[in-house]
Amino acid sequence: MKPLVQMPHARVSTVFTDIDDTLTTEGKLSALAYDALEELQRAGLRVIPVTGRPAGWCDQIARLWPVEGIIGENGALYMWHDHAANKLRTRHLLDEESRAGNAARLATVRGRILDEVPGCAVASDQFCRQYDLAIDFCEDVPPLGRDAVDRIVQIMEEEGMTAKISSIHVNGWFGDYDKLSMARLMMRERYGVDLADPAERGRCVFAGDSPNDAPMFAYFPLSVGVANVLEFSDRLAHAPHFITQQACGAGFAELTRHLLSPA
């Protein structure tokens, strides 16, 4: 990982960003980070959060935040506010019948994890999820050790799920998708941009902080980890190409200053 100051000043059009511990700091969205989002939007950049947080959160964020839209539940859906129609719109990866069919399977895995991994809990935002199971290992419970987190992942994988570790949860789902696959789909469908084109890919920045961001770190040449990504350095399948000096929301603000500074 190179220092952020070494990241070239490209003609960036889109900024993808994780939310928890990338925009937020100790669970809060600071004025500093929110101002950074507004600055990017005022400068004409497309800002799209890409998060493991649930559909219910995405509804609020797409409506109220200074963003073009949002990818949620680790790539299961994207939402945007259609200003012309004054309507929130959602693009689901799976149809309603498929989502309902997965619900019973998710409940079975949830029961097994709670039985076998003492101290963990179902995430408090589970009630507004449509695709995945989120197991809390440090947000509203005392932090669990690495062995416990790894055991949660193992159980999900044994049950045929995809499992990803964020900074606060282990998220598991049935299906072959992730943050990157939905980012590519959203860009193609909403903006006519093919991220398979290296030139288009080079006009995008991604900011993140945890193992579930690895596909995005690997794919985008201008991928940036806020400083706290170092806490997961031995768990990252792919590390970001650049790293900020500051952590969390202050690191995102640092990235914003770099993007908007003269070349």
Q: Quick one: 108 and 88 in the same domain?
A: no
User: Which domain, by its residues, includes 11?
Assistant: 2-93+177-260
Q: Do 88 and 215 sit in the same domain of this protein?
A: yes
Give the residue among 204, 196, 197 at the shortest CA–CA distance from 221.
204
Q: Are residues 188 and 256 in the same domain?
A: yes
Q: Please name the residue that has the structure tokens 């939007």.
A: 41
Cβ neighbours of 196 (radius 10 Å) = 9
Q: At 183, is the pLDDT very low, low, confident or very high (cuts 50, 70, 90)?
A: very high
Is the domain of 225 the same as that of 251?
Answer: yes
The span from the CA of 229 to the CA of 70, in Å, is 22
Arithmetic mean of pLDDT over the chain: 95
Question: Taking 90 as the threshold, does the pLDDT of residue 233 lie above it?
Answer: no
Same domain, 116 and 169: yes
Query: Same domain, yes or no, for 88 and 186?
Result: yes
pLDDT of 36 higher than 90: yes
Q: What is the pTM of this model?
A: 0.92
pLDDT given at position 153: 97
Best CA proximity match to 55, nearest among 128, 136, 135: 128
Is residue 200 within 8 A of residue 185, CB to CB? The reply is: no
Same domain, 134 and 184: no
Judge whether residue 232 has pLDDT over 80: yes
Is residue 263 pLDDT above 80, yes or no?
no
- Greatest extent of the chain over all pairs of C-alpha atoms, in Å: 55
Distance CA 114, CA 116 (A): 6
Count of structural domains, the chain = 2
Average pLDDT over residues 54-73: 97
pLDDT digits (tens, 9 = 90+) for 184-215: 999 999 999 999 999 999 999 999 999 989 99
Residues 109 and 239 in one domain: no
Residue 88 shares a structural domain with residue 181: yes
- What is the sign, positive or negative, of the torsion defined by CA atoms of 106, 159, 74, 196? negative
pLDDT value, residue 234? 87
State the pLDDT at residue 120: 98
Q: Is 218 left (phi over 0), alpha (psi -120 to 50) or beta?
A: alpha
Buried/exposed 42-69: b ≥16 CB within 10 Å, e otherwise: eeebbbbbbbbbbbebbbebbeebebbb
- Kindly indicate the confidence band of residue 39, based on its pLDDT and cuts at 50, 70 and 90: very high
